């Protein structure tokens, strides 16, 4: 994974124009952690519930940067957030749906890749590495619903990672069916302490995210954190 990230950093900087004169330099290391934060306890989601489906696009070229930034297609969250997510998944079963996860814990170095890869208005859809991301804390998850009968993801107002106002969690467009499904997901996640991001219908933050430090450990070491 280290080699993939190093290559991706160079690729992103070169093609984004962030190396030009006048561009603000992104930090080279994560923000310092406060001493009163909780010890990390990242858990791999699929080990808690085999019925969860994964579509880890950042381990493929099917994502907004166009190349893999993860060496492994895995998803982790801090244990309280992970357990809450599993409760959501099981509740949704009564309505004929399950959860399909796009991303969970994200190493800080990948957040920096994303920041360097975009510019202008699109930066509202990525986290500033100077501040870190709630994904870096293991308390944010990107996901959608899938139908239990077919195993297929439902049709939402946009695809994952579309960087337009159509991705906003309160966007009034889209089909009535897609908007209703978005609300089913929102209500189920809220019932277990998750809050939707206003600009991304797929992004949910767990209520205790402030209690954890920003991490930059690879997936191969995440379960030991």
Query: What DSSP character marks residue 168?
Result: S
Longest Cα separation, the chain: 56
41-107+131-216 folds as Muramoyl-pentapeptide Carboxypeptidase; domain 2 (3.30.1380)
Summarised one tens digit per residue, pLDDT across range 70-90 is 999 999 999 999 999 999 999
Tell me whether residue 72 is one of the annotated catalytic residues.
Answer: no
Residue 60, pLDDT above cutoff 50 = yes
Q: Residue 202 corresponds to which tokens in the numbers above?
A: 């797929």
Summarised one tens digit per residue, pLDDT across range 104-117 is 999 999 999 999 99
Residue of 17, 7, 209 lying closest to 115 (CA atoms): 17
The one catalytic residue among 28, 162, 183, 200: 200
Amino acid 38: pLDDT = 84
Residue of 141, 136, 75, 131 lying closest to 110 (CA atoms): 136
Q: Residue 81 corresponds to which tokens in the numbers above?
A: 């957030």
């Amino acid at each position: 994974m280290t080699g993939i990230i190093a290559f991706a950093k160079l690729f992103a900087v070169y093609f984004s124009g962030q190396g030009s004169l006048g561009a603000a330099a992104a930090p080279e290391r994560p923000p310092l952690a406060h001493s009163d934060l909780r010890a990390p306890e990242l858990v791999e989601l699929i080990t808690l519930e085999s019925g969860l489906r994964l579509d880890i696009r950042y381990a493929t070229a099917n994502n907004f940067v166009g190349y893999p930034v993860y060496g492994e297609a895995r998803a982790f969250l801090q244990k309280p957030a992970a357990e809450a997510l599993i409760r959501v998944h099981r509740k949704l079963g009564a309505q004929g749906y399950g959860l399909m996860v796009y991303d969970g814990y994200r190493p800080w170095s990948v957040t920096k890749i994303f920041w360097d890869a975009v510019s202008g208005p699109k930066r509202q859809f990525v986290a500033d590495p100077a501040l870190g991301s709630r994904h870096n804390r293991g308390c944010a998850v990107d996901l959608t619903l899938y139908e239990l009968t077919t195993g297929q993801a439902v049709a939402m107002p946009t695809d994952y990672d579309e960087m337009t106002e159509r991705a906003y969690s309160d966007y009034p467009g889209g089909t009535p069916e897609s908007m209703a499904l978005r609300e089913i997901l929102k209500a189920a996640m809220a019932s277990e302490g998750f809050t939707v991001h206003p600009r991304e219908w797929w992004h949910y933050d767990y209520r205790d995210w402030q209690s954890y430090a920003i991490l930059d450990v690879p997936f191969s070491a995440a379960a030991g954190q």
